[in-house]
């Protein structure tokens, strides 16, 4: 499921967030997100992900969300931690991006952890 992130003031699409790799038996899915660089640091993705998590946990009754992040992407690491995720480890040499081997940090968020997160009220 892919959702478009739209700037409220302008109505312009500025990014996307998605749920994928659903595992119905385990009630879990992975998240992904992309935001246009000129919109970074303004809280847009925090707001969008809060809505995505509400949908995933409340409407889809998922128990767990997971995210894999390029280990060099410090801003994404900080975002996930702010959103209540726990860093669960690192997968070494997980991806090849533009011919370069990269590690991936692994994050998880459980439904009961999110419901107590300050980001839910944001």
pLDDT in tens, 34-62: 999 999 988 899 999 999 999 999 999 99
Is residue 103 within a helix (H) or strand (E), and if so which, with residue range? Answer: strand 100-110
Q: What is the pLDDT of residue 121?
A: 43
At 74-95, the pLDDT tens digits run: 999 999 999 999 999 999 999 9
CA distance 89 to 98: 24
Q: Tell me how many domains the chain contains.
A: 1
Look up the pTM and report it. 0.88
Alpha helices in the chain (DSSP H): 44-54, 74-82, 111-114
Residues 6+ apart with CB under 8 A from 30: 19, 20, 21, 65, 66, 67, 68
CATH of the domain at 113: 3.40.630.30
pLDDT band at 13 (very low <50, low <70, confident <90, very high): very high
| Domain containing residue 72 | 2-121
């Amino acid at each position: 499921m892919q959702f478009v992130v739209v700037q409220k003031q302008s109505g312009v699409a500025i990014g996307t967030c998605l749920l994928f790799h659903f595992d119905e038996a385990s009630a879990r899915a992975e998240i992904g997100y992309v935001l246009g660089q000129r919109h970074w640091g303004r809280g847009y993705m925090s707001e969008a992900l809060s809505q995505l998590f509400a949908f995933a946990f409340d409407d889809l009754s998922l128990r767990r969300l997971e995210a894999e992040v390029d280990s060099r992407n410090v801003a994404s690491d900080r975002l996930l931690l702010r959103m209540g995720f726990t860093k669960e480890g690192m997968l070494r040499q997980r991806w090849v991006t533009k011919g370069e081997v990269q590690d991936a940090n692994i994050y998880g968020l459980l439904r009961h952890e999110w419901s107590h997160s300050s980001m839910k009220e944001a």
